[in-house]
Every structure is written in structure tokens, then in C-alpha cells.
């Protein structure tokens, strides 16, 4: 008589049950304990109504997870060839249905059947430190909050932000070493630069000592929110404790300044959100304002840091294209780079778009299915987490010519490869949850690259390949060592 489980040694079942229970406790998921979900989480159920194949089983789950984290792009293409564009994977005690390709992106992002929600999926991952952010809201609440936030991303507001960010960028660029120097870790420097931009442009804070303190708190909560930290206990000395302390420091800092910002005529992001579009219009309450500011600082900082780093890496490997971009900047003249000038730099724009294709800020993103839905003839059940992978879509040979090659001109009007499918190029997501700060991030990257190319040439050693760490968001595993030479004349 079948017990409903695959015929495997009991030791595998015992391991799976033990592993699931331990990870549920460590990740504080025991509040929703459900035996049916336990069985589903390890793919043992033989329910004929659920034909989505499992990519692995038993103790192989940990091995497969390591393979995925080591090289997610290759892993997803391999599994697609073996299984198809829909399959299941275990992630530290929970399970996701993986959907691949532009049609999968459209299904999830457009969400015509209202089958997917953001909040339950993202709350499990980052809710402790980034609760209440726009990504963690759905439906009417999300629409209302996004509408109130749009005022802070108008053209007039963005002009003001670019003016402020240029001051930070120029200050940090002055510190770049040139000539005979040890390898300069460019990613680390850009990370500090974008943190300062976030503090000064988003919060309006210019006290250098306080900015350093805020930046440290912010980095602590980003590190604590990563999937590598499964400890829920705030024991002093742990990532979790540092994250909790950092979150509290940022909350206290923002909360203490809200009323002053509401009464001010400041043009920083904090002040605009605090006041609302008009002083009498609907606006965020104090708790909502704190949550949104902390989340948006994280989203803006991570996107700009990795995109700029990726672009500098490819420019350093493709010196001819770097030189063409530099010529484009110099063609603007010898004066400062103005806001309107940034749209006169198409080669830098194509390069940035190509960097976003090659390394999207979110290589994969998640949702929770709230009702049954079908994809490729297979059923996704209500309650299951769903993951789509822009990193996979951005390398599909059916959408991109020679997808492994750095080829910015694929985004030119003459080729427009990014328009071959509406959801074939999705570095900022899509649908109602498409990144609201997309324009800000693009302006920040273009401003940084244009100013940097005015001053410096960037080189990497012959044959150097950027190693990436995908444990959380993708980052250069070696900090991106780079050599810099000052531009003469």
C-alpha cells in the first residue's frame, strides 16, 4: 500500500522533517505550521493535481542550493533543459515554484488573474528590517501609497536630487587613486558613494559624522536581512542584533525630524514625502514615513551600486567603447554636467542598459500565489511561493543576439533587442510593482559614470573575469579591483 511518499529510505524523510522544523524555528515561520505545507515543502505528496516537477529531493536539496547560489544563471538554464520552464526548488526549509522566460514574467508582473501577492512572500525574507516598504504592500493600499509617493519622483524633484548628488559624487571622485597604486576596490568605493548620496539626497543630512553613523546602521540592517542570516535571536555580537540596533537608530533619527521636515521648504526626498504634494493633501503618517524611507534607501542604494559597478567593469574590459563614451561626455563642453545633459549621452545610456541586462539588480524576484493558476499546462497552487528570474530571461538566445557578449548597441533604435518581447527586459520589474525609483537610479548611474569618465580611465588586467557572490543580492566577491589613470588635458 502506498503511503503517499516516494519509496526512499526513511532516513531521508527523517532528515527532511528535521531540517524543515529546524529552519522553520530559526526563521520564525512556526506561527503558520501546517502539516500539509510540510509535506508539500519537500515534494513528497503524490497529489495528481499538482504536476509541477521537483528539481531535486531529499538531501540533494542542500547540494542543489549550493549549485544554484554558485552560478544561478547556468543552474536555471540547465534545469530548464532538463525539466522545462516550470519546476520546484527547496530553499532552506521552504519551497518555490520557479517560472522561466518572458511569458512567466508577464504572468507574474501583470497579474491579470490577481493570483499573486508581494507582501506574504517578501515579509518572510526582509520583513523584520524593511517592513512596510512599498514592495511589501498590495492592492488598494499599495496603489494609494504609490500615488502619494509619485510627487517625490517628479521631474522637478529629480532635477533637485541630481544637483545634490553631483556634489557627493565629485567629492568622492576626488579621492580616487591614480598612477602606481595597489588595486583599488571600486565596488567598495561606489558603495560608500551611493550611501552618502542616499543620506544627503534622501534624508537631507550633511553632518559628516552623522552620515557615517547612519550609513553603518543602514549596512547593518542590509547584512542582517540577507538569506545567510537565519538567526532570529538578537544576541549581542550577532548580525541580527546589529540589524535590530541599526533599524532602531534609523527609526529614531527619522521620527525625531518628521515634524521639522513637514514645516520646512527643503527639497530633499524626506521633506517632500513628509509634506505631501500639498500640505493639505493626503500624506503618510509617521510610522509609514519611517518604513518607506528606510526601504527606499535600501532599494536605491543597492540598485545604483551594482549597476554602476557592472558598467565600470565592462567599460574597463572594453576600452574602445569606454573611449567613445568619454568622447560623448567631452562633446558636451567644458562646463558642469547639467540635468538635461544626461539625456544627451546615448552611449552611456546603452551601456547602462546593457549592464542592467547582464546583471539585473534583482536577478530573481518572488511572489505568493493566493489562488490556483496555471503556467505551461501545470498548476501552481494557492499558498505556494513563486520565483521568476530576470537573470535567466536576459540571456535567452531567442531574445538576445550573442547574449553573453557586452554589446550596448543592442539597445539602439536600429536594433532594439529589448523590445522583442514586452517582458524580455525587466531589470526594474514590471506591472504595478515596477520600481518607482527607476528614473532616480538611472540618473544617479549616468551622473556618476559621466563625471568619472571626464577625469579617469579605468582598466582591469587582461583576462580578468568578475567573480560574483549571489548569497543575497549579487556583489563582486573580490570588491572589483581596478586600475585608474587620470585623463590628460
**pLDDT range class, residue 488, cuts 50, 70, 90:** confident
Q: Grid coordinates 550611501 are at which residue? A: 195
User: What pLDDT, on the 0 to 100 scale, is given for residue 50?
Assistant: 55
**pLDDT range class, residue 278, cuts 50, 70, 90:** low
- Answer yes or no: is 108 within a domain: no
Examine the pLDDT at 220 and tell me if it is beyond 80: yes
- Answer yes or no: is 251 within a domain: yes
User: What pLDDT, on the 0 to 100 scale, is given for residue 466?
Assistant: 96
Across the chain, mean pLDDT equals 88
In order of 287, 296, 307, 435, the CA distances from 354 in angstroms are 38, 24, 10, 18
Calculate mean pLDDT across residues 423-437. Answer: 96
User: What pLDDT, on the 0 to 100 scale, is given for residue 359?
Assistant: 97
User: Is the Cβ–Cβ distance between 477 and 469 less than 8 Å?
Assistant: yes
Q: What is the largest CA-CA distance in the chain?
A: 83
| pTM, two decimal places | 0.88
**pLDDT range class, residue 5, cuts 50, 70, 90:** very low
Instruction: Return d(Cα 130, Cα 110) in angstroms, integer.
Output: 24
Examine the pLDDT at 127 and tell me if it is beyond 80: yes
User: What pLDDT, on the 0 to 100 scale, is given for residue 230?
Assistant: 79
Q: Total structural domains in the chain?
A: 1
- CA neighbor of 484 nearest in space, from 169, 167, 173, 195: 173
User: What pLDDT, on the 0 to 100 scale, is given for residue 439?
Assistant: 95
User: What pLDDT, on the 0 to 100 scale, is given for residue 346?
Assistant: 98
Examine the pLDDT at 20 and tell me if it is beyond 70: no
Examine the pLDDT at 19 and tell me if it is beyond 50: no
Lowest mean pLDDT across 252-266, 271-285, 332-346, 364-378? 271-285
Instruction: Return d(Cα 343, Cα 136) in angstroms, integer.
Output: 32
**pLDDT range class, residue 10, cuts 50, 70, 90:** very low
- Answer yes or no: is 167 within a domain: yes
Examine the pLDDT at 432 and tell me if it is beyond 70: yes
Of 467 and 56, the structure prediction assigns the larger pLDDT to 467
User: Is the Cβ–Cβ distance between 326 and 312 less than 8 Å?
Assistant: no
C-alpha cell at 168: 557627493
**pLDDT range class, residue 54, cuts 50, 70, 90:** confident
Of 33 and 434, the structure prediction assigns the larger pLDDT to 434
Examine the pLDDT at 92 and tell me if it is beyond 80: no
- H or E stretch at 95: strand 94-99
Instruction: Return d(Cα 101, Cα 404) in angstroms, integer.
Output: 17
Instruction: Return d(Cα 100, Cα 426) in angstroms, integer.
Output: 13
- Answer yes or no: is 16 within a domain: no
Examine the pLDDT at 162 and tell me if it is beyond 60: yes
pLDDT tens-place string over residues 187-219:
999 999 999 999 999 999 999 899 999 999 998
- CA neighbor of 180 nearest in space, from 488, 484, 489, 487: 484
Structural domain of 336: 142-486
Instruction: Return d(Cα 160, Cα 7) in angstroms, integer.
Output: 65
- CA neighbor of 129 nearest in space, from 218, 201, 191, 205: 218
Q: Grid coordinates 562633446 are at which residue? A: 331
Report the percent of the chain where pLDDT is more than 70.
Answer: 88
Examine the pLDDT at 1 and tell me if it is beyond 90: no
User: What pLDDT, on the 0 to 100 scale, is given for residue 181?
Assistant: 76
Lowest mean pLDDT across 35-49, 54-68, 118-132, 308-322? 35-49
User: What pLDDT, on the 0 to 100 scale, is given for residue 336?
Assistant: 84
User: What pLDDT, on the 0 to 100 scale, is given for residue 58?
Assistant: 61
**pLDDT range class, residue 29, cuts 50, 70, 90:** very low
Backbone angles phi, psi at 280, to 5 degrees: -100, -10
Calculate mean pLDDT across residues 77-102. Answer: 91
- Answer yes or no: is 130 within a domain: no
User: What pLDDT, on the 0 to 100 scale, is given for residue 2?
Assistant: 36
- CA neighbor of 292 nearest in space, from 155, 183, 436, 166: 436
Calculate mean pLDDT across residues 18-33. Answer: 42
- Answer yes or no: is 127 within a domain: no
CATH number at residue 249: 1.10.630.10
Of 165 and 63, the structure prediction assigns the larger pLDDT to 165
- Answer yes or no: is 93 within a domain: no
User: Is the Cβ–Cβ distance between 157 and 272 less than 8 Å?
Assistant: yes
Backbone angles phi, psi at 375, to 5 degrees: -145, 130
Calculate mean pLDDT across residues 101-126. Answer: 96
- Answer yes or no: is 97 within a domain: no
Amino acid at each position: 500500500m502506498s503511503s503517499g511518499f516516494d519509496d526512499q529510505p526513511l532516513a531521508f524523510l527523517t532528515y527532511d522533517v528535521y531540517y524543515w522544523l529546524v529552519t522553520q524555528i530559526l526563521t520564525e515561520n512556526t506561527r503558520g505550521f501546517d502539516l500539509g505545507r510540510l509535506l508539500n515543502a519537500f515534494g513528497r505528496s503524490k497529489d495528481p493535481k499538482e504536476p509541477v516537477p521537483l528539481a531535486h529531493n531529499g538531501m540533494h536539496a542542500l547540494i542543489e542550493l549550493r549549485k544554484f547560489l554558485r552560478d544561478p544563471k547556468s543552474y536555471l538554464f540547465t534545469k530548464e533543459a532538463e525539466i522545462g520552464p516550470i519546476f520546484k526548488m527547496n530553499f532552506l526549509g521552504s519551497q518555490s515554484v520557479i517560472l522561466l522566460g518572458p511569458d512567466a514574467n508577464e504572468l507574474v508582473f501583470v497579474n491579470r488573474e490577481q493570483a499573486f501577492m508581494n507582501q506574504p512572500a517578501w515579509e518572510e525574507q526582509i520583513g523584520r528590517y524593511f517592513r512596510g516598504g512599498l514592495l511589501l504592500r498590495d492592492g488598494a493600499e499599495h496603489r494609494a501609497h504609490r500615488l502619494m509617493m509619485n510627487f517625490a519622483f517628479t521631474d522637478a524633484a529629480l532635477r533637485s536630487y541630481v544637483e545634490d548628488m553631483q556634489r557627493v559624487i565629485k567629492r568622492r571622485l576626488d579621492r580616487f587613486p591614480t598612477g602606481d597604486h595597489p588595486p583599488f576596490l571600486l565596488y567598495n568605493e561606489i558603495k560608500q558613494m551611493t550611501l552618502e548620496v542616499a543620506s544627503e539626497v534622501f534624508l537631507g543630512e550633511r553632518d559628516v559624522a552623522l552620515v557615517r553613523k547612519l550609513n553603518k546602521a543602514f549596512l547593518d540592517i542590509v547584512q542582517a536581512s540577507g538569506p545567510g542570516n537565519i538567526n532570529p535571536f538578537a544576541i549581542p555580537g550577532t548580525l541580527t542584533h546589529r540589524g535590530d540596533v541599526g533599524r532602531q537608530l534609523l527609526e529614531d533619527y527619522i521620527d525625531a525630524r518628521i515634524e521639522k521636515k513637514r514645516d520646512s521648504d527643503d527639497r530633499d526626498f524626506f521633506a517632500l514625502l513628509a509634506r505631501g504634494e500639498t500640505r493639505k493633501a493626503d500624506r503618510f503618517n509617521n510610522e509609514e514615513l519611517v518604513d518607506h524611507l528606510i526601504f527606499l534607501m535600501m532599494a536605491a542604494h543597492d540598485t545604483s551600486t551594482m549597476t554602476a559597478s557592472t558598467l565600470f567593469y565592462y567599460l574597463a574590459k572594453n576600452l574602445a567603447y569606454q573611449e567613445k563614451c568619454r568622447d560623448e561626455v567631452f562633446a558636451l563642453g567644458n562646463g558642469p554636467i547639467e540635468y538635461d545633459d544626461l539625456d544627451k549621452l546615448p552611449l552611456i545610456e546603452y551601456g547602462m542598459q546593457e549592464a542592467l541586462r547582464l546583471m539585473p539588480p534583482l536577478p530573481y524576484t518572488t511572489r505568493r500565489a493566493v489562488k490556483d493558476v496555471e503556467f505551461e499546462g501545470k498548476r501552481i497552487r494557492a499558498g505556494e511561493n513563486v520565483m521568476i528570474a530576470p537573470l535567466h530571461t536576459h540571456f535567452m538566445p531567442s531574445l538576445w543576439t550573442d547574449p553573453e557578449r557586452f554589446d550596448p548597441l543592442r539597445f539602439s533604435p536600429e536594433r532594439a533587442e529589448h523590445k522583442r518581447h514586452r517582458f524580455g527586459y525587466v531589470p526594474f520589474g514590471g506591472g504595478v510593482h515596477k520600481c518607482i525609483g527607476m528614473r532616480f537610479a538611472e540618473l544617479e548611474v549616468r551622473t556618476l559614470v559621466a563625471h568619472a569618465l571626464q577625469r579617469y580611465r579605468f582598466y582591469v588586467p587582461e583576462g580578468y573575469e568578475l567573480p560574483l557572490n549571489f548569497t543575497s543580492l549579487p556583489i563582486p566577491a573580490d570588491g572589483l579591483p581596478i586600475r585608474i589613470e587620470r585623463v590628460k588635458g
